[in-house]
Structure 1
Amino acid sequence: MNKIILWTILPFLTACSTDSFKSGPLEDNVRNYSKAGIVHPYNPANGWDRAGQLHNELSESYVLQGYTPLTVQGTLVTVDSIAQHNTLFQQLKGNGYIMPASSLLEQILLQSKSNGTDALSNTSLSSSAKAILAGFIDEVRSLEASKAEYADTYNYIVAVEESIQKNGACNKRDRELLLITTAITRHAAYFARKQKKKPRDKDWDLVVANIVAATGGAEQSAARAAIMAATAGIVANY
């Protein structure tokens, strides 16, 4: 497994820059990624970690209140309404928050079913950052499909986050969008596994739309990213 993860991370060594990263800690971090005993989704080293926390609070509130999503628009309105009463959302939404358009989420949900890469076409990420995100999506999807332990998914994502932050080759905007996306993905994977432990008609899956919707929402704010990702996850799992 570690060899597979290392090859997956290698593009991070050159992406977002014409120069290769010179440091070696990334490889050490990746080799040790499969540590046991991860029982939480948090990574304080990612300054956007609260976006992931908000995603889970919104998703949990939706499930606990017993809503049934009938349309993307209706689900989005409900999640947005839940968010308006959430303290963390108020802290993260910033100025000028506008509820995302349901048509954007519908497009992401449709494209993500066939090809996650296509769903990235409308983001403002640089081409190299899009390549990083596409590789990230592929590896997370592989981990989820193989029913990997959460520790495996968690440590893979943390390794990616460390590589983005420590090497600093991506521009500030790319880094922000990527780290919001990875934070939400890490928390969403944890939420999915929590749901599988509860009586449900079917498993709750972390889907590509979760990840791409997070990136799309991050274009405006971390709060919007959490709302879009939570809504995409809910719609895809009912």
Structure 2
Amino acid sequence: GLSVSQRGIEVGVRVEVHNDIMDDLTSVIYDPTFFIRTDRHDDLTRTFCTNRGGFVALENYQDFVCVNGHAYRDRKSDNTNFAFLSKVVLTEPVTDNQAYGESIGRLASIIGGGKPILQRFGDLRRGRRSTWAKVKAGYLQPTMTDVVCGDVSMALPGRIMANLREGLTKLNQVVPGVANDETLLYAPEIKFFATQVGTTKELETAVAGLFVAGDGPGVAGNIVSAAATGLIPAKAILARLAAEAAT
């Protein structure tokens, strides 16, 4: 039969800053990605899905809500948003990463009254809840307003919050201004991954002749890599067909 393994989940926030802070990067690379190893917990955090001139959006999972981000071709905002995520892989005694992620989503939805939570990074750093008065007084205005201003640390686990604070502060050394007090954090953003099917380097499973590719079997994590993984088994299959034809 097929062997499978858990890929874990990623939990964090959607970060929103003014376009000026990210322009030097996004004018060269539309979706720059940074991987940051935290000192305190030795965990991996990363940026993901950068949207220059984009908008923060709602993700509805029926019994809880999350956030995401997107951008339009002909409609632009003054802000850039990106996901900032902390990797979680449960081992013993609990290995159900999906259930853990869903429980975080449900707790965050309770804290937010059924809506995502919005907090300024400066308030998070000082251990204070954000209010609409504070947000509206700043120069950075949120692109998603159907949210509840509050305290993200009331919704996300402490270890993840420590990773996000440290990781964003480190990222500020490379992208100055990204950890400003006015930086907006929307929570939660949770990335669920499919169970990974065991394969060879050619993406052939334990069932001879059965190849997999893309996000479904867990061998890719985004649109680009999903497309790229389709080429791997395709080349292997073509090589086998050519070898059979030559015999």
Q: Do the two structures share a fold, i.e. TM-score over 0.5?
A: no
- TM-score, normalization: structure 2? 0.27
Higher relative contact order (CA 8 A, sep 6+): 1
Question: More strand per residue: 1 or 2?
Answer: 2
Normalising by structure 1, report the TM-score.
0.28
More helix by share: 1
